Chain A
């Protein structure tokens, strides 16, 4: 595989026209802008169509289990704070199977960037309702309509005082790339929920549907204003805001090791003293 860009060009397993392509482009643009060498960047992902994204970029990849991108990313960051760590996955993976890890990552404020491809549906398993599918939206496995209130990741993250909370749209690559770059620069946990059309299984929330509704947050929005952020997080329907909703100055998770654990050897003199203390 020859690298057309430092981040490579790969053949993908995505459907033609899928929003995943644009998200990939935005990620590569952000990495390029940040001038991060590929071997210093790690992507942890779960399972699903979105979770394959890191395979299509030349970076370090830990493509693990469904719902588990965050605990793996956390372990990676704790073992080597010098790495720039991302977790990336779909809405089912991130908010369904991985819901508990999402809450824990916000509480930890571990320094990584979480990119969620939010297509409001399960793609890889062929179209079941996901935690973000709107109430009443019909799917193959929910013939009477999705029976539960959708999960609002942004409102939850803002309410919990997450480090950095943003919404992007796969139809606005340049804007999304900017969000990703800003998220990486933020010390602490940064969530970017990306609205992503699934052309195969979500016939309601299409490109056209989003294009009509999405608008960029202007300079009049203050990401330090929690109440305003929550209002923007709850805005959905006729108008959908994209941009940085909320940013906090909470210190990131710590303490982290001074040097990467890979190069650490146990101090036998210290250990000898420790053993003596059991006498």
Chain B
């Protein structure tokens, strides 16, 4: 019988080509119509160490990575030792015949015989995997042709020959491994990682200025923008540091650009003065903070959700801000677009919290519906009354007409000091109060526009797994597992973590039989925020801060531990 789901883990040293094998296979599976989640685990080094590229593929749908392994491709001897405890009863190990299987069930692949050069071992591994999964070889050969076309027909032919030889060899082995059931998706699917989706959503919203200082895992957002900058007319500058990056973005936004910066916690720590500046100048900027474990440099290539507090409180003084935390690919795209809109509408800093897991997690998705995106507010390039124009005109909503300098025959004055409506600095304390009231009124508008948390299932009488950001998929699977065990469970997911509107979720928390906060940090940052804003105290916490993403198995095991 065909298997509906397979978890494939490719392990090896950095530089051994595991990502090449993994990306080829993942893209071929996505094109064939399968659902998948790819996770990458790697060390902070360019060569050596032990890394994995995991593809969890399913004929219908898949939400999160899992711990158990059905196919383990061992490119280095370490792989077997590290992962053999996670093998399922039906698992096969694919190892180099020269290294051996160490007594585990599997195939010893004669890479030496199959490949004219070690360079082709990737293709041999792909051939073996393709054959075991019963994937139509055309999906892989098509990709090989596309990828190597530039290198010439000889290279394409040589790669295809190795691939075919490996397929044939595998067929001759008659390994007992259930084929993957036929995929259910019809039509075109995209395969991309969370940070790519964030960048594309921001570009769809008209982002045309991007300044940055490199820091993993924030860089891949900028890298995606750079990949398309020429085609879309985006100005990108690598700044001398994060302070410059964010201030440059504010300068560009003042002059009418739509600005995005992307960084990680350590870089964001440096940007903090720019956050207050954005609040005071009422000049929009979208800041993507890709979380990784801290404090300080922490675990540079691993994941965590521990920068909510930093982003929530970043900056001195009080000013309105909004914080989005996408949970899946579609949210990455849609919320990035919404973040740009929110920043432009309220002329405030707006944040997107992503993390290493989302950054490196490739998934399949339906193509995004560009035509359905709402329009994004724009600053003004003309005003009716040039003589009476005031950048900080006091309005009921707190939002003032934002004119871009250089277009109308009047000047636009911004000041980081407290200022009068025309932007000039003042020490009139009455004006201070008027201006602070005006700025803070924007928070009311932001609350009206805020996204309520998404409830998956029924709240009443259930165990309500509450989470935010990238934990969504694992929480949904964990709830499913709990229900299968007879425990009614649902998920409440916050894709916007600030501002919170208590009315939209407090009744749900109150109706639940038991509320559990699942978040990727030690202290329970969202749980504490909710407690402060609503008084609700969660019954239990599932925390993960070992650098790895949540899996359903991890959540359920922890819940059982708590229950004991």
With the chains together, A13 CA to B312 CA distance in Å? Answer: 36
Which of A37, A58, A261 is in CB contact (< 8 Å) with B235?
A261
Q: Digit string of B437-459 for contact with A (CB within 8 Å is 1, else 0)?
A: 00000000000000000000000
| Distance between A37 CB and nearest chain B CB, rounded to angstroms | 7
* Contact B273 A65, beta carbon cutoff 8 Å: yes
Distance, CA A75 to CA B239, complexed state (A) = 10
Take A63-B415, A65-B416, A75-B248 as given contacts and tell me if A261 and B425 are in contact as well, using a CB distance cutoff of 8 Å: no
Closest to A40 in B: B406
B111 CB, nearest partner CB in chain A, Å:
31
Contacts A62-B414, A63-B414, A80-B255; is A271 near B250 (CB within 8 Å)? no
> Is B241 on the interface with A (CB-CB < 8 A)?
yes
User: What A residues does B274 contact at CB under 8 A?
Assistant: 65
**Chain B neighbourhood of A83, CB < 8 A:** 255, 405-406
Measured CB to CB, the closest approach of chain A to B483, in angstroms, equals 34
Contact of A39 among B250, B273, B368, B405 (CB under 8 A): B405
Q: Which of A234-279 contact B (CB under 8 A)?
A: 256-258, 260-268, 270-272, 274-276, 278-279
Residues of A within 8 A of B232 (CB): 266-267, 270-271, 274
B188–A72 touching, CB < 8 Å:
no
Q: B250: which A residues are within 8 A, CB to CB?
A: 64, 72, 75
- The range of chain B's interface size is 35 or more
In the complex, which residues of chain B have a beta carbon less than 8 angstroms from the beta carbon of A279? 30-31, 188-191, 367
The answer, yes or no, to whether A134 is at the interface (CB within 8 Å) is: no
Kindly list chain B residues whose C-beta atoms are within 8 Å of the C-beta of A267: 231-233
- Which of A64, A79, A103 is B252 in contact with, Cβ under 8 Å? A79
Residues in chain B near residue A258, CB distance under 8 A? 233
Instruction: Give the B-binding residues of A (Cβ under 8 A).
Output: 37-40, 42, 44, 47, 52, 55, 58-65, 68, 70-80, 82-83, 100-101, 103-104, 256-258, 260-268, 270-272, 274-276, 278-279
Is B277 in contact with A76, judged by CB distance below 8 angstroms?
Answer: no
Task: Contact check, A278 vs B196: say whether CB atoms are below 8 A apart.
Answer: yes
Q: How far apart sit A76 and B208, CA to CA, in the bound complex (Å)?
A: 13
- B370–A78 touching, CB < 8 Å: no
B61 within 8 A of partner (CB): no
Min CB distance A45 to B, Å, is 9
Q: Beyond the given A55-B425, A271-B200, could you list 11 further A-B residue pairs with CB under 8 A, ordered by the A residue number?
A: A63-B425, A64-B414, A68-B277, A76-B252, A78-B257, A257-B235, A260-B255, A261-B256, A266-B203, A270-B232, A271-B203
What is the bound-complex CA distance between A103 and B379, given in angstroms?
A: 32
Cα distance A247–B370 in the bound complex, in angstroms = 50
Q: Does any Cβ of A come within 8 Å of B424's Cβ?
A: yes
CB-based contact B190/A264 at 8 Å: no
Bound-state CA distance A75–B284 (Å) is: 13
Identify 16 residue pairs between A and B in the complex whose beta-carbon atoms are under 8 Å apart, listed by A's number.
A38-B411, A39-B405, A39-B409, A55-B413, A58-B411, A61-B413, A61-B414, A71-B239, A72-B248, A74-B248, A83-B405, A261-B208, A264-B233, A268-B370, A275-B200, A278-B192
- Given the interface pairs A75-B255, A262-B404, the reply to whether A64 lies near B248 with Cβ below 8 Å is no
Asked if B204 CB lies within 8 Å of chain A CBs, one says yes
